[in-house]
Structure 1
């Protein structure tokens, strides 16, 4: 029996990618562009990107909010799930990252559906109008609780809220951790546990991105 390891997780990830995803040169080009621009390699994996896209399709999402753009890899996956009249707003702190993302999104033919807002998310969130039916939070973990507050304010009943990187290689259970990201996730989870407006759970993941997980929630009517 094969013991669980990062190598095994990566090989399994690659196996399912080869079997369940068609060749996608466009998305490969996005990752290459991000690497050449020296963006951190913290994009979701191809399987995770498709998972998000399928969730948005299952929801029938028409308005998506993404907090944390990076190079636009997850943005494009989500935009692919939108109908022709759909709209996605994505928030990115770094001007450099936003420029790379804008080019990637344009090359993917998704620029008519996607709007990038540059600046600290907690500054741009108050300027956003309308409600969203799907929200993906994948930014600085220290502010996850604050992002959740805004996500709830900007959600319509039944909206799906997904938050990435909540397991932190298992370190989330360390209440004494000095890692600000770990403590940010813990504060976020504590808030979720007391928040009556959302019903949520966690899905732990392993793969090419290591050991982590998503929090998934549905906003109550």
Structure 2
């Protein structure tokens, strides 16, 4: 969902860097072959992820929710030359498509795919993270944060997607809306946790930047 007037949104996109050719091809193939292509990070948010990664220069990136691999490839642009990316996703049908484009990037050996439920995989990863991109099932965002925080390096960054949830976070909460309830809890925790510094940006469906002290 876009919260800006369409003309302003189009102007912002038009005056942002173009996406690389590889990402254009991945975006096209996603829209042609994959269900729910709107889940793709896309050109504008992808350039935000790329630029933030280049500023942070992380050695270790963790991504929760890989979809077709677009956002991982954006963050790869800023990965330290000796760094690595670990992506977690449950959809085995997308595994080969992800791997195809990871390998086409020329850095496929530094992108490690983990297939399965994140709540089960995260405790098995003996890593410390400089950058995390949270874009998985919203109802488990609070649980993911609990597992990730002890694994963050000081000064590490957590990027959280869809935190405005099509505006539902400011609407009356429906009793059966588990995802919105979890996001309200998650957003409150990010804003009030003594170990975290957070700013929520109204980019696309809401993107939070959180620094771990």
Which residue matches 1:160? 157
Among 146, 149, 157, the alignment partner of 1:149 is: 146
Measure the CA separation in 2 of the matches of 1:166 and 1:94: 22
When residues 99 and 60 of structure 1 are mapped into structure 2, their CA distance, relative to the original with a 3 A threshold, is same
Listed as ranges, the gaps of 5+ residues in structure 1 are: 207-211
Q: CA deviation at 1:98?
A: 2.1
Instruction: Provide, for residues 80-126 of structure 1, a one-character-per-residue CA deviation record: whole Å limited to 9, x for no partner.
Output: 11122111111011111222211121122231221110000011101
Measure the CA separation in 1 of the matches of 2:67 and 2:196: 27
Query: Is 1:181 matched with 2:160?
Result: no
State the secondary structure of the residue aligned to 2:126: coil
Measure the CA separation in 1 of the matches of 2:212 and 2:173: 31
Query: Is 1:219 matched with 2:197?
Result: no
Number of positions where the alignment pairs a residue of Structure 1 with one of Structure 2: 211
Which residue matches 1:116? 113
Please report the TM-score for the alignment, with normalisation by the length of structure 2.
Answer: 0.90
Which residue matches 1:209? none
Query: Is 1:81 matched with 2:84?
Result: no
When residues 98 and 6 of structure 1 are mapped into structure 2, their CA distance, relative to the original with a 3 A threshold, is same
Q: CA RMSD in A?
A: 2.2
Among 11, 21, 27, the alignment partner of 1:25 is: 21
State the secondary structure of the residue aligned to 1:82: coil
Please report the TM-score for the alignment, with normalisation by the length of structure 1.
Answer: 0.87
Measure the CA separation in 2 of the matches of 1:156 and 1:7: 33
State the secondary structure of the residue aligned to 1:61: coil
Instruction: Provide, for residues 173-197 of structure 1, a one-character-per-residue CA deviation record: whole Å limited to 9, x for no partner.
Output: 2352243321121121233344222
The answer to which of 192-201 and 81-90 deviates more is: 192-201
Listed as ranges, the gaps of 5+ residues in structure 2 are: none
Measure the CA separation in 2 of the matches of 1:126 and 1:21: 37
